[in-house]
Every structure is written in C-alpha cells, then in structure tokens.
Amino acid sequence: MSFFKVENLSVWFGGLAAIDGVSFEVEPGQVFAVIGPNGAGKTTLFNCINGIYKPGKGEIFFKGNEIVGLKPDAVARMGIARTFQNIELFDHMTTMENLMLGRHIHMKTGLLRGAFLWGKRSFAGREEMVHREKVESIIDLLELQSVRNKFVGALPYGTQKLIELGRALALEPELLLLDEPCAGMNAEEKQDMIFWIKDIQDELGITVLLIEHDMKMVMDISDQVLAINFGRPITQGTPQEVQQHPEVLAAYLGEDA
C-alpha cells in the first residue's frame, strides 16, 4: 500500500480536459513537486485531491483509502491540508484566530459547551488554552509574533502567505499541499520559505506536494518531480532527470528566452 496515489485522473470543464490521465505515487516523507506551464492543470489537480472538484474519472488513494467523493472537510480530517495560489484567508480574523481554525478538527467544543465558557476550568476554557498553546508554537516557528493579534486582511502579501502555511500546519496534516508558496515573494522571503519547507519535511515529517514555477527552488528541495502540460503527464523522476527531458527543456528554456 502506497502512502498517496493518484490513478488515471481526468477532469473536464465543458468539453475541455484540464487533467487528462494523470497517475503518480508519493512516498511518505518526500517533497513531491508538480511543475508545468500556466493552465497545465496543476491547481485543478489539488482541487481534486482535497475535494473541491470531483474528477470525471480516476481514483485517489490516501493511506489505502479512496478519497474521491469526500467533501473537503472530510479530506481535511483524514490528514490532508493545503494552501492556495490566490491566498484564501479569513480577512476579518486575527492571525491567532486564523490558525485556530486549523485546530478545528482537533477540538470538540460544540454549541452548548461553548456557550458555557465559565472560567478556565470549564471544558471550553481548558480546550481553548491547550490549542492556543499549540498555535502559539506555530506562530513562534514562523516568526509571526508581531502580527499575532492583527487582522490578516491588511497584512503584507508575504506575511499572508506565511499565515496560510501556519493555518495548514495547525491541522497537523500528514500530507501538505502547497500551491505556489513562493509566488509574488522577494528573494529573501523565498529563501525563508524554502528553509521552512525543508523544516516541515525534516522536523515535522510531513509529506509535501508542491506546485512551483521557480525551477531553481524545485531543484533545491524536491525528491521527485512530475511535469505536466495540457493536463497530460510529460515525465516523472528526480529533479535532474526531469530537467533533462526535452519537452521540459523546451518549455522552461523557451519561457526564459
């Protein structure tokens, strides 16, 4: 049984195939990168994995369980978290509260126990404290202390990307989907992000599925790379192997030139 497996996945919008027969397997602990030009179907692939889209054909297995057909919240509960290409944060909530949403699946307080938040000893009070402490450790890890109690909507782009990463980490996932985590960042912020992704892999042991356009970064941190174009798989292998593939060369050198 493999850790994560996509089998013969296809998605159509109208008559057009956004994904066309994609298959791959991810080993636990890997950083697995998906590359491809704009409109290749990378984000669509993520949307299928976490249940936002239902694929027209194919299967996705996570730790041996079929997850196609599950709702996004059920996928989250299974241990898959993600970030978005176009940041999706809760703008009118603070950084702390955004990250607390990441703890939602690990908490139990419902309507009644929430309404009776009578002091530190009440169930809700105790639970809040335990999980706020967890979130605080993520805030420390990502060095977000200075924006802890700020509403996230008005924060700089790079900070928002980081908060989104923090929220995903707060779910304590086994598989983390990162959709262009470095897009729009400056060189320094990029360097930090690379550092954190390595940390997530090494220290937290989380498997990472990564979409990224920056080839240097892909080379730097991924163990396996899958290249797709027009929804079809082109090649898969180690970063070095994939980089040598003529179609990838053409796509990326062509883009740079």
Partner 1 sequence: MDRKRSYYEDVALFDSKAKLFWFFVLMAFLVAYPHIVPSNSYIYMANLMAINIIVVLGLNLLVGFTGQISLGHAGFFCVGAYATITLMIHAGLPFIVALPAAALISALLGFLLGLPALRLEGPYLSIATLGFGISITKVIGKMQFFGGRQGLHAPELTIGSWNLDTDLDFYYLAVGLTVLLTIAARNIVKTRVGRAFIAIREDDIAAQTTGVNLTYYKTLAFALSAFYTGLAGGLFAFVLRFIEPEMFTLLMSILFLAMVVVGGLGSIMGSITGAVLITWLDLQLRHILTIPYIGDWLRTLSQSWFSITGVSNIQYIVLGTIVVLIMVFEPLGLYGLWIRAKKYWKTWPF
Ligand X SMILES: Nc1ncnc2c1ncn2[C@@H]1O[C@H](COP(=O)(O)OP(=O)(O)OP(=O)(O)O)[C@@H](O)[C@H]1O
Q: How far is CA 67 from CA 53, 57, 71, 72, 219, in A?
A: 12, 13, 9, 10, 30
Q: Residue 86, interface with ligand X (CB under 6 A)? A: no
Residue 38 CB, nearest distance to ligand X (Å)? 4
Kindly tell me which residue out of 29, 54, 69, 107 binds partner 1, with binding defined by CB under 8 A: 107
Helix 123-141 with 95-102: angle, nearest 10 deg: 110
Q: How far is CA 238 from the centre of its chain?
A: 21
Q: Residue 201, interface with Mg ion (CB under 5 A)? A: no
Read off the tokens for 144.
């977000």
Nearer to ligand X, 16 or 253 (CB): 16
Q: How many secondary structure helices (H) and strands (E) does the chain include? A: 10, 10
Nearer to partner 1, 67 or 234 (CB): 67
Residue 159 CB, nearest distance to ligand X (Å)? 22
Find out whether 232 and 201 touch, Cβ atoms under 8 Å. no
Read off the tokens for 130.
């335990």
Q: Residue 42, interface with ligand X (CB under 6 A)? A: yes
Nearer to Mg ion, 45 or 155 (CB): 45
Find out whether 95 and 148 touch, Cβ atoms under 8 Å. yes
Kindly tell me which residue out of 34, 40, 41, 43 binds Mg ion, with binding defined by CB under 5 A: 43
Q: Residue 159, interface with Mg ion (CB under 5 A)? A: no
Helix (H) or strand (E) holding 82: strand 80-82
Residues that bind ligand X (CB under 6 A): 13, 18, 36, 38-44, 85
Residues that bind partner 1 (CB under 8 A): 50-52, 71-73, 75-77, 81-82, 84, 88-93, 96-97, 100-102, 104-105, 107-111, 114-117, 120, 124-125, 127-129, 132-133, 136, 145, 167, 171
